[in-house]
């Protein structure tokens, strides 16, 4: 929405949108804090569908000084409809040879511009909800990921963080993994393991009651507009890194999707983007995994470990319990509190409609052999 300016005689008043002005009289203004980097700010006008009077600022570093004006000039005149990729390309092309951007990038500028136009969103633009852990069958947990991502995509549910809980020992495999290559049937049978396929890619998760911390974020894709696929992982998990830091753990991302500390890997993330604009980002962190049982259930081969700097799958699982000395419930509570404090999230719950739809999808999809073995 833009403010309106009056023109013409009073008896023949005509309304025209004032270029680049919002209802509150301000210019379009965008801000973006680069994960692990600096704050980028942009103010601009939109005149006849194109950017004008562009002013980039922030606490980043840029050499030479004149490159700031080059960026402003590169943005000036671009169509309001420009995609994030097109904006970033224009910025890169406009930079002088040898320019150094420290703490930000052309892509970060693009995200900031898109936010100024309300085509990209920030965390504060949404009312977030948190669903605390509740014990559900693993198949229902997986089905809920699809259901709730769709609900956020169509706007029937606010963006939501949901913590999983379950009772039966399970293996959740990635959407594109082969059942026979990932799971040992003898180990599955001997230990009574439920095997389920999820909608996101990535690797298999071995899950027993109380041995993992698993959460799912359901969000609109506008939150990661202009952010690369790889960078979106760290961006969406900045809050959980802060929660771990509060508990005395310094964690970091190992590209693409592993979460680790100096003592070893503690978890992994996966994502799925839907055509309706919804997005799923979920993470499983090891708390107290039975490594001997895990290697009897999962086929973890040498090639999988070849770039991990370790010969043993057991050594790759470094539980949060040993690193913190804290109960799983304490860690979960700290995560919920940090998320709520950062983003103003309120506690929510699953609706009966959502649960019923998830159970229907277990019957029709996630609990079927056709889905489980779609990649044999």
Q: What is the mean pLDDT of each run of 10 residues along the chain (376 residues)?
A: 33 38 74 93 97 98 98 98 97 98 97 96 97 98 98 98 97 97 96 98 95 97 95 95 95 91 92 98 95 91 44 59 94 98 98 98 98 96
Which pLDDT belongs to residue 18? 43
Which pLDDT belongs to residue 302? 37
Which pLDDT belongs to residue 17? 38
What fold does the segment set 123-372 form as a domain? BirA Bifunctional Protein; domain 2 (3.30.930)
Which pLDDT belongs to residue 283? 98
Residue range(s) in the chain whose domain bears CATH number 3.30.930.10 = 123-372
Q: What 3 state SS string does the chain have?
A: CEEEEEECCHHHCEEEEEEEEECCCCCCEEEEECCCCCEEEEEEEEECCEEEEEEEEECCEEECCCHHHHHHHHHCCCECCCCHHHHHHHHHHHCCCCCEEECCCHHHHHHHHHHHCCCCCCHHHCCCEEEEEEECCHHHHHHHHHHHHHHHHHCCCCCEEEEEECCCCEEEECCCCCHHHHECHHHHHHHCCEEEECCCCCCCEEECCCCEEEEEEEEEHHHHCCCCHHHHHHHHCHHHHHHHHHCCCCCEEECCCEEEECCEEEEEEEEEECCCCEEEEEEEEECCCCHHHHHHHECCCHHHHCCCCCCCHHHHCCCHHHHHCCCHHHHHHHHHHHHHHHHCCEECCCCHHHHHHHHHHHHHHHCCHHHHCCCC
Which pLDDT belongs to residue 11? 34
Which pLDDT belongs to residue 22? 55
Residue range(s) in the chain whose domain bears CATH number 3.30.390.50 = 2-116
Which pLDDT belongs to residue 264? 85
As its CATH architecture, domain 2-116 has 2-Layer Sandwich (3.30)
């Amino acid at each position: 929405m833009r403010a309106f300016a009056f023109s013409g005689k009073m008896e023949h008043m005509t309304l025209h949108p004032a270029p680049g002005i919002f209802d509150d009289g301000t210019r379009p203004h965008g801000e973006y804090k680069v994960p692990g980097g600096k704050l980028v700010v942009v103010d601009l006008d939109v005149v006849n569908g194109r950017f004008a009077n562009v002013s980039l600022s922030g606490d980043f570093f840029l050499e030479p000084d004149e490159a700031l004006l080059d960026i402003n000039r590169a943005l000036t005149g671009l169509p309001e409809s420009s995609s994030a990729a097109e904006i970033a390309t224009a910025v890169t092309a406009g930079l002088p040879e040898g320019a150094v951007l420290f703490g930000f990038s052309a892509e970060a500028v693009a995200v900031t511009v898109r936010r100024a136009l309300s085509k990209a969103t920030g965390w504060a633009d949404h009312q977030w909800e948190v669903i605390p852990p509740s014990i559900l069958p693993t198949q229902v947990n997986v089905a809920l990921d699809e259901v709730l991502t769709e609900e956020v995509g169509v706007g029937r549910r606010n963006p939501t963080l949901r913590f999983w809980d379950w009772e039966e020992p399970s293996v959740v495999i990635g959407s594109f993994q082969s059942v026979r290559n990932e799971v040992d049937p003898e180990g599955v049978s001997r230990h009574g393991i439920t095997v389920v396929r999820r909608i996101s890619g990535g690797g298999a998760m071995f899950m027993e009651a109380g041995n993992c911390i698993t959460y799912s974020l359901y969000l609109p894709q506008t939150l990661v507009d202009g952010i690369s696929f790889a960078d979106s992982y760290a961006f969406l998990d900045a809050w959980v890194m802060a929660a771990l830091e509060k508990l005395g753990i310094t964690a970091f991302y190992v590209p693409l999707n592993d979460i680790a500390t100096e003592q070893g890997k503690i978890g992994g993330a996966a994502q799925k983007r839907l055509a309706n604009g919804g997005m799923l980002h979920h993470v499983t962190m090891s708390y107290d995994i039975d490594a001997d049982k895990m290697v009897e259930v999962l086929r973890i081969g040498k090639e999988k470990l070849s770039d991990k700097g370790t010969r043993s799958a057991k050594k790759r699982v470094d539980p949060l319990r040993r690193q913190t000395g804290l109960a799983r419930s304490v860690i979960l509570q700290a995560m919920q509190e940090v998320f709520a404090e950062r983003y103003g999230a309120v506690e929510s719950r699953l609706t009966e409609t959502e649960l019923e739809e998830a159970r229907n999808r277990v019957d029709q999809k996630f609990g079927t052999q056709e889905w489980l073995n779609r990649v044999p």
